[in-house]
């Protein structure tokens, strides 16, 4: 009996193995059909944001270093000679236009003014006397008691005295002006940069007493490469960036171009006047950009431009915004926010922005958000 039972078990084994194999094969076929249905043959859509391409004015810029300087940088000097009695301000003080900043000994000029007044009084007295003489001679000449020559001489003397009076009055004005100049005044609102004299010194006319500086009227001096000499013109826009000031950026215009190219730096210097927006100081270094050309062109956000082996690429959405086309473009000027597209893109088209780096030509997309 045992051999018979053993023989039965061996007979059933091939049938069980075939059934199991068929069952596994059927399961495998079902799994493959499910995978194909999920892929759909085209892959999953990539989520992106998009923006409509617009045009803007693009500036051609050239950058160089420059410095801020005060537009007026005078040395205030004595206009008349005299001993310095008082210096009313010192280095670091601020002064307003017309403030007295120094006084000279006025004694000599007060005497000169008194002498001018005395001379005027003397001449006026002589003129009154001569006018009486002329009037008397005119009456006598009518009666032939005085000759015509005597009358002419009296009238000529009166004319001379009157001319001397005019000159004396001019001398008085000069003496009065010299006396006023013993008080040296600030020519404009400024700060005292340096004091150049001391009380008790004798100041000749022209002796410098103070070095003043103003931070309200400033200028920027910028040296550009000599290769730009033919392109630069007065009136061109200059963007100035000052990292040490609260308001770091401003725009102005070139007011002057120096005619000589410096030998050492081989550069052409331009000057632009600026109104201090606050916190700008003479001597500060700045970065300057001169605008040599302005053109109209389209731009896209920086994220929309993707570097591919074939070149710089943007992905343009179709009309239904479901599929993208890879478009090679020629980029131009770049900023921290956008890049100019010189060729390959038209205003009004929509391009992928966020997510563009994950796209390929013909990829399916899902636009989840629009950016202006």
Q: Give the CATH number of the domain where residue 229 resides.
A: 2.40.30.170
- Residue 230 falls within a domain, yes or no? yes
What range defines the domain where residue 323 resides? Answer: 46-57+296-370
26 is a domain residue: no
Q: Is residue 163 part of a domain?
A: yes
Asked whether residue 199 falls in the same domain as residue 235, the answer is no
For residues 134 and 128, what is the distance between their CA atoms, to the nearest angstrom? 10
Total of domains in the chain: 4
Burial class (CB in 10 A: 0-12, 13-18, 19+), 7: exposed
Return the C-alpha torsion angle 219, 221, 227, 231, nearest 10. Answer: 0
Q: Match 């076929």 to its residue by tokens.
A: 29
Q: Would 241 be classed as within a structural domain? A: yes
Residues 6+ apart with CB under 8 A from 145: none
Distance CA 249, CA 288 (A): 10
Same domain, residue pair 280 and 228:
yes
Are 198 and 288 members of one domain?
no
Q: How far apart are CA 80 and CA 61, in angstroms?
A: 51
> Are 300 and 363 part of one and the same domain?
yes
The reply to whether 302 falls in a domain is yes
Residue with tokens 């050309």: 293
- Does residue 346 share a domain with residue 233? no
Q: Is residue 348 part of a domain?
A: yes
- Distances in Å between the Cα of 84 and the Cα atoms of 260, 309, 369 are 42, 79, 77
Q: What is the pLDDT tens value at each position of the chain, 372 positions in all?
A: 334 344 333 344 443 333 333 333 333 334 443 333 333 334 689 999 999 999 999 988 899 999 998 887 789 999 999 999 999 999 989 999 999 999 999 999 999 999 999 999 999 999 999 999 999 999 898 888 888 899 999 999 999 999 999 999 999 999 999 999 999 999 988 889 899 999 999 999 999 999 998 877 889 999 999 999 899 999 999 999 998 888 888 999 999 999 888 877 789 999 999 988 888 888 899 999 999 989 999 999 999 999 999 999 999 999 999 999 999 999 999 988 999 999 999 999 999 999 999 999 999 999 986 545
Beta bridge partners of 194: 211
The tokens of 67 are what? 């410095």
- 188 with 116, same domain? no
Spatial separation of the C-alpha atoms in residues 53 and 343, rounded to whole Å: 13
Pairing of strands 365-370, 46-52: parallel
Considering the domain boundaries, does residue 325 fall inside one?
yes
As a whole number of angstroms, the distance between CA 179 and CA 82 comes to 11
């Amino acid at each position: 009996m045992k051999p018979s039972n053993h023989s039965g078990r061996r007979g059933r084994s091939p049938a069980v193995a075939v059934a199991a194999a068929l069952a596994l094969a059927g399961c495998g076929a079902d799994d493959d059909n499910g995978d194909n249905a999920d892929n759909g043959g085209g892959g999953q859509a990539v989520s992106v944001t998009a923006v409509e391409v617009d045009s803007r004015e693009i500036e051609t810029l050239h950058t160089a270093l420059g410095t801020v300087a005060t537009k007026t940088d005078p040395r205030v000097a004595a206009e008349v000679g005299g001993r310095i009695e008082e210096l009313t301000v010192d280095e670091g003080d601020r002064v307003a236009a017309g403030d007295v900043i120094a006084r000279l000994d006025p004694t000599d000029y007060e005497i000169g003014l008194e002498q001018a007044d005395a001379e005027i009084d003397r001449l006026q007295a002589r003129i009154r006397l001569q006018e009486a003489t002329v009037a008397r001679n005119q009456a006598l000449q009518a009666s032939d008691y005085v000759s015509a020559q005597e009358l002419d001489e009296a009238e000529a003397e009166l004319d001379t005295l009157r001319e001397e009076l005019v000159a004396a009055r001019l001398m008085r004005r000069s003496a009065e002006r010299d006396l006023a100049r013993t008080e040296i005044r600030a020519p404009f609102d400024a700060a005292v940069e340096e004091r150049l004299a001391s009380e008790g010194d004798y100041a000749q006319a022209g002796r410098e007493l103070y070095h003043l500086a103003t931070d309200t009227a400033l200028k920027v001096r910028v040296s550009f490469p000599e290769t730009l000499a033919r392109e630069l013109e007065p009136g061109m826009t200059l963007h100035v960036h000052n990292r040490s000031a609260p308001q770091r950026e401003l725009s102005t215009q070139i007011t002057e171009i120096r005619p000589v190219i410096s030998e050492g730096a081989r550069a052409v210097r331009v000057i632009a006047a600026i109104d201090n927006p606050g916190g700008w100081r003479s001597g500060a270094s700045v970065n300057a950009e001169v605008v040599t050309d302005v053109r109209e062109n389209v731009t896209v956000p920086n994220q929309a431009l993707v570097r591919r082996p074939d070149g710089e690429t943007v992905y343009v959405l179709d009309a239904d915004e479901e599929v993208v086309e890879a478009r090679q473009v020629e980029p131009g000027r770049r900023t921290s926010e956008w890049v100019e597209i010189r060729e390959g893109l038209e205003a009004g088209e929509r391009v992928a922005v966020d997510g563009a780096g994950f796209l390929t030509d013909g990829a399916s997309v899902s636009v989840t958000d629009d950016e202006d």
